[in-house]
Amino acid sequence: MLKDFNFKKIIQGRLFKGDEIISEITKILKEKSITSGLISGIGAVSKVKIGYYDQKKRQYISKEFCEPMEILSLKGNISLKDGEPFAHIHIILSKEDYSTIGGHLFEASVFAFEFEIIELDGIPSERGYDEDTGLFLWKC
Ligand code: ZN
């Protein structure tokens, strides 16, 4: 399945200490009616909840890490889920000992966060339940 989009614009922004990344990004997407795009960011967090998808059990195993960490890379895509803008985001973090962890991002408490949203122009992709994986993937 391939779709063509045109570049629309880039929004650059930051969040503030104590903000939660997923809820703030979702709020921005809804306010600006962004339904297709990409997101990337760097910064630092005080706490995260990330997930690993167990392909056999077909469910996310999530874990919280409550310690200061650097966001080495946060990236994701923006589409529609249940008719609303939805950001699917993954993250790689580094700990004090320089080891890294990563996964599907459920929640993150910001210490500092700078991001770019690349808005795309085209017919937005819509997520729907996928029988083969148990995930909500792009249907069209
Ligand atoms: Zn994911």
> Please, is 2 exposed, middle or buried when counting C-beta atoms within 10 Å of its C-beta (0-12, 13-18, 19+)?
exposed
Q: Are 70 and 93 in contact, with CB atoms under 8 Å apart?
A: yes
> E strand or H helix at 92, and its extent?
strand 84-94
Inside any domain, residue 3:
no
**For residue 88, how far is its CA from the centre of ligand 1 (angstroms)?**
6
Inside any domain, residue 137:
no
State the CATH number of the domain containing residue 15.
3.30.1330.80
This prediction has a pTM of 0.96
Percentage of the chain lying above the pLDDT 70 cut = 100
Q: What is the pLDDT of residue 87?
A: 98
Residues in CB range of 132: below 8 A, 6 or more apart: none
Residues whose Cβ atom is located within 5 A of ion ligand 1: 104
- For 56-69, the pLDDT digits (tens) are 999 999 999 999 99
Q: For the chain (length 140 residues), average pLDDT per consecutive 10?
A: 96 98 98 98 98 98 98 98 98 98 98 98 97 95
Q: What is the pLDDT of residue 140?
A: 77
* Number of domains observed in the structure of the chain: 1
Domain that holds residue 28: 8-121
**For residue 106, how far is its CA from the centre of ligand 1 (angstroms)?**
9
**For residue 105, how far is its CA from the centre of ligand 1 (angstroms)?**
7
**For residue 42, how far is its CA from the centre of ligand 1 (angstroms)?**
18
**For residue 91, how far is its CA from the centre of ligand 1 (angstroms)?**
9
> E strand or H helix at 112, and its extent?
strand 100-121
**For residue 111, how far is its CA from the centre of ligand 1 (angstroms)?**
22
Q: What is the pLDDT of residue 59?
A: 97
**For residue 18, how far is its CA from the centre of ligand 1 (angstroms)?**
23
Q: What is the pLDDT of residue 89?
A: 98
Q: What is the pLDDT of residue 1?
A: 85
Inside any domain, residue 76:
yes
Inside any domain, residue 61:
yes
Q: What is the pLDDT of residue 36?
A: 98
